[in-house]
Amino acid sequence: MSRTFNITADCKPSFHYMVDITDRLEQIKKMIDAGQYFTINRARQYGKTTTLRALAKYLVQDYIVVSLDFQLMSHKDFAEEGAFVKAFSKKLGADILCCF
C-alpha cells in the first residue's frame, strides 16, 4: 500500500507522508531529562497529537509513559476538588492498567 497525505487525524509513518521529527523528539527528551517543562501549542493540523504519540514511543525505553485525556472526563468532575480527585484517580488507574 502506498503512503498518502493525511489531513484528518494523527499521522502514521507507514501509511502517511510526514516530516521527520526525530530532531524535535531528541530536543524534547533533553528537556525532560533535565527536568524542564515544555509546551506544544499550534493551530489545527500542525502535528501536535502526532508529535505526542511519537514522543511516547520515543520515551518508553527510558520512562514510564502515561497518557491521560481530560476530554473524556465529565464537566461535573471539574466542579469540585473532591470530584476531580476521584475522577482523576479512577482515570489514572485505568490508564496505567491498560498500558502494562
Complete DSSP assignment for 15-80 = TB-----HHHHHHHHHHHHTT--------TTSSHHHHHHHHHHHHTTTS------GGGS-GGGGTS
Separation of alpha carbons 91 and 68, rounded Å: 8
Q: What is the pTM of this model?
A: 0.71
pLDDT reported for residue 94: 60
pLDDT reported for residue 100: 40
Kindly report, residue by residue over 32-45, the tens digit of the pLDDT: 999 999 999 999 88
Give CA separation, 17 vs 2, 12, 40, 46, 81, in Å.
10, 8, 21, 14, 44
28 φ/ψ angles, rounded to the nearest 5 degrees? -65, -40
Greatest distance between any 2 Cα atoms in the chain: 50
pLDDT reported for residue 66: 83
Tens digit of each residue's pLDDT, the chain (100 residues)? 788 888 877 788 888 888 889 999 999 999 999 999 999 999 988 888 889 999 999 999 999 998 878 888 888 999 889 888 888 888 877 655 444 4
